[in-house]
Amino acid sequence: MVFIGWINTTSMNIERFYHTASVLTNGKVLVVGGVSSTYLNSSELYDPSTGTWTSTGSMNFGRDRHTASVLANGKVLVAGGIGSAYLNSAELYDPSTGTWTSTGSMHFGRYGHTASVLANGNIVVAGGIGSSFLSSAELYDPSIETWINTAGLNFGRYYHTASVLANGNVLVAGGINSGYVIRSELYDPPTETWTSHPRMNFGRYYHTASVLINGKVLVAGGIGSGFLSSAELYDPSTGTWTNTGSMNFGRYGHTASVLTNGNVLVVGGLDAQGFLVNSIEFYDPSTGNWSSSGSVSNAGSYQTATVLSNGKVLVTGGYLSFIASSCELY
């Protein structure tokens, strides 16, 4: 049975996974790149007021596993990814014109990295993989459209998560290197330094990390010593990790969205056998417990889940037994 909170909405024009989805200042959602039969340079816009998709300008380079960051000026910065090579190129989307322009290139080609918008408007890109596992980090300054090197991670990794905390620091957790990374690190923007932090209880990658309303960070699922259902909480006030309730289903390549009521919605992913997990789960921070509530008809892996300005969650694309263009709203 499909959970009554889900409704189908118009499908994208092109099926894709490993793409990005960004909420623009006008409330529309910009979906960019990904992979279908090839690496995609196309992008499209979803209008929540009409529930429709329209094509917009194409990037200069097809790419997947890139990052997309909404800048203070409303433009969207896409960086890195994999396409014809490990990409160091970056591009800017201007919503006022619907066009892309090349901007300064990173010093290292990378994919599976993270990009975090800092309080000063700069973007810090960290880790990833290119010719090797990367510990390097770079800062993009939108005012001069230039990348500068900053201090690198203490431990190279990719498919990790990066969460901007209430105090402006960036928490990097997990990932993969020669093994499943259990380490976490904090980036301090004023000093441009990384500090090693206590280890998580489980090494993991392809997990999710969600900043809760109370300021804590919820890490859930992923691949580690197994296909993980476990979840843990990072408390910035103490700098420590504690276990919290486990999900009902182990999964990786899923999405996690913080809802307006403070709960976290987890959708999709793959299980230990590589089968799709179509059940949805909710995490309640007040109890530390998960509840499973029905399923979603087009749950996939490597999809996107975007919280809209009206509080709804838009799930787009992903890999099912095929590459999907379908979209659903919670």
- The pLDDT tens digits for 72-88 are 999 999 999 999 999 99
Distance CA 260, CA 300 (A): 23
Residue 286 has pLDDT above 60, yes or no: yes
Residue partners of 110: CB distance under 8 A and separation at least 6: 80, 86, 87, 88, 125, 127, 128, 129, 130, 134, 158
Residues 195, 110, 76, CA angle at the centre, nearest 5°?
A: 90
Instruction: Give the whole-angstrom CA distance, residue 142 versus residue 80.
Output: 16
% of residues, the chain, pLDDT over 90: 93
Q: What is the mean pLDDT of the chain?
A: 96
- In the chain, the amino acid numbered 91 is E
What pLDDT score does 2 carry?
43
Rounded CA separation 101/72 (Å): 17
In single-letter form, the type of residue at position 324 comes to A
Distance CA 230, CA 251 (A): 10
Distance of CA 178 to the CA centre of its chain: 22
CA distance 22 to 69: 7
Q: Is the pLDDT of residue 3 over 70?
A: no
User: What is the pLDDT averaged over residues 56-75?
Assistant: 99
What pLDDT sits at residue 5? 84
Instruction: Say whether pTM exceeds 0.85.
Output: yes
| Statement: residue 233 has pLDDT above 90 | yes
- Inform me whether the pLDDT recorded for 298 exceeds 50: yes
Per-residue confidence (pLDDT) for residue 1, from 0 to 100 = 35
Q: Using a pLDDT cut of 70, give the percent of the chain over it.
A: 99
pLDDT of residue 313: 97
Q: Provide the pLDDT confidence category of residue 4 given band limits of 50, 70 and 90.
A: low
- Is the per-residue pLDDT at 7 higher than 70? yes
State both tokens at 189.
């923007």
pLDDT of residue 314: 97
Give mean pLDDT, residues 132-155: 98
* 48-52, 199-203, 270-274: least confident range: 270-274
pLDDT band at 300 (very low <50, low <70, confident <90, very high): confident
Q: How do strand 43-47 and strand 208-211 relate by DSSP bridges?
A: unpaired
Q: What is the mean pLDDT of residues 168-174?
A: 99
Residue 99 CB neighbour total at 10 angstroms: 12
Element (H, E) at 126: strand 123-126
Q: Decide if pLDDT at 217 tops 60.
A: yes
Cα dihedral 115, 117, 122, 125, rounded to 10, equals -10
Q: Which residue has 């900053």 as its token pair?
A: 150
